[in-house]
Amino acid sequence: MPIRAVLIDLDGTLVDTAGEIGRALTRTLDDFEIVPLRQDEVTALIGKGVRALVERALAKREAAGLDAEAVVERFHHHYRETVATDATLYPGARTGIDRLRATGIRLAVVTNKPRSYSERLLAYLDVASRMDALVAGDDGIARKPAGDMIVAACRRMGVRVDDALMLGDSDNDVLAARAAGCRVWCVPYGYNEGRPVESLACDRVVSSIEEAARLLASA
C-alpha cells in the first residue's frame, strides 16, 4: 500500500533538543543543591517524558526522597527559558521534509512534548508551515506508546491509519505505531534511552528523514 502520510516524532527524530533539556535539568538540580549529570547521562534519560526524566535523574543522584512534583515544576520553569534557543534539525531533516511534501505526502508531528514547547521549536526551526498537523502531549489524547495520537493525526489529515508511516527513534514510537495499526521506521541517532536502534522492532531502519523520503519517493 502506498504511503499517503508520514508522522514524525519530534525529540530525537526531527529535532536534537538534548542540549536544551540538559541545561534545564542542570539548572533544576542546582536549585535543589544536587550535583548535575553529564550531558551523555541526560541524553540517555530522554524518551519517557519530563516526569520520568526527573525521577530517573534523582535516582541516579540518590535523591529520590525529594518531592518529584516540585522538581518537575522547577524543570518546566527552566525549560521554558531554554526551549527553542539552540535546538537543531538533524542532518537531512529539512531536505527530507521538502521532498516528502513535493511528492504529495502529508506530514504531521506526533510528540509527547507539550504543545507550547513543540510549537516554539517548530517555529524556531522554520518547519511549522511545512506540517499539516501537530498532535502534542497535552492535547487530551492518550500519549505514546498508546496509538491514539497517531489515529488523531491521521484523522486531522484525512488519511487512513494504514496509509500512514510513523517515523521515530524509540520504543514509544514503535509501540504506538503497532497499537494504531500503521507501519513504523526508525532512525539510529535518537534518544532510545541509550539502547541501540537494532533493539527496536520496527519495519525498517533509515539513516535520516532524507533517506526515508528518498525511499518513499521511489516506491
Catalytic residues: 9
Separation in Å, CA 12 to CA 46, 61, 76, 219: 9, 25, 19, 26
Alpha-carbon distance of 153 to 149, in angstroms, equals: 6
Exposed, middle or buried, 113 (CB in 10 Å: 0-12/13-18/19+)? buried
Alpha helices in 15-125 (DSSP H): 18-31, 39-45, 50-60, 68-82, 93-102, 115-124
Alpha-carbon distance of 158 to 162, in angstroms, equals: 12
What contacts 134, CB < 8 A, 6 or more positions away? 108, 109, 111, 115, 118, 119, 122
Q: Are 93 and 210 within 8 A, CB to CB?
A: yes
Distance of CA 23 to the CA centre of its chain: 18
Alpha-carbon distance of 149 to 141, in angstroms, equals: 6
Residue whose C-alpha is closest to residue 15's, from 113, 108, 120, 90: 90
96 grid coordinates = 527530507
